Amino acid sequence: MIALGCYIFNKSLPLPNSFSLRIERQLGSSFAAFENSMGQSSPISIRYNPPKNRGEKLGEPIAWATEGRYLQERPVFTLDPTFHSGAYYVQEASSLFLEQALKHSVDLSQPLKALDLCAAPGGKSTHVLSLLNSESLLVSNEVIRPRASILSENIQKWGHSNVLVTNNDPEHFRNLQGFFDVIVIDAPCSGEGLFRKDKSAMSEWSEATVELCSQRQQRILANVWPSLKQNGILIYCTCTYNEKENEDNLVWLETQHNCEFVSLPIKQEWGVEESRKGKAIGYRFYPHKIKGEGFFLSVIRKTEATNTVRIKSKPLLTLAAKKFTERFVDWVKDFDEKEFIVLDELICMVPKRYFTELELLTTQLRTVLKGTAVATPKHEKLIPEHSLALSIELNKGIFPQIELTKEEALAYLRKENLRVGEGQKGFCLMTYQGLPLGWVNLLGNRLNNLYPSNWRVRMGDS
Residue 69's DSSP bridge partners are 46, 61
CB of 316 to ligand SAM, least distance (A): 26
Nearest residue to ligand SAM, using CB?
Answer: 123
Which has the closest alpha carbon to 455: 406, 389, 407, 405? 389
CB of 134 to ligand SAM, least distance (A): 21
> Under 8 Å CB-to-CB from 300, ≥6 apart: which residues?
233, 234, 235, 236, 250, 253, 259, 260, 261, 262
Q: Which of 118, 237, 239, 428 is catalytic?
A: 239
Cα end-to-end distance, the chain, whole Å: 35
Q: Give the footprint of ligand SAM on this chain (CB under 6 A).
A: 118-124, 142-144, 147, 170, 186, 188, 216, 220
Which of residues 153 and 186 has its CB atom nearest to ligand SAM in the complex? 186
Query: Is residue 239 annotated as a catalytic residue, yes or no?
Result: yes
Which of residues 93 and 220 has its CB atom nearest to ligand SAM in the complex? 220
Which has the closest alpha carbon to 65: 107, 106, 93? 93
Which of residues 184 and 404 has its CB atom nearest to ligand SAM in the complex? 184
Which of residues 182 and 410 has its CB atom nearest to ligand SAM in the complex? 182
CB of 219 to ligand SAM, least distance (A): 7
**How far, in Å, CA of 77 to CA of 394, rounded?**
25
The pairs formed by 360-364 with CB atoms below 8 angstroms and a separation of 24 or more are 360/176, 360/309, 360/311, 360/312, 361/139, 361/164, 361/166, 361/176, 362/316, 362/317, 363/314, 363/316, 364/172, 364/173, 364/175, 364/176
Give just the sign of the alpha carbon dihedral 319, 322, 327, 331.
Answer: positive
CB of 117 to ligand SAM, least distance (A): 6
Which of residues 169 and 334 has its CB atom nearest to ligand SAM in the complex? 169
CB of 337 to ligand SAM, least distance (A): 28
Residue 159 to residues 125, 328, 372, 404: CA-CA distances in angstroms?
12, 17, 8, 21
The catalytic residues are: 239
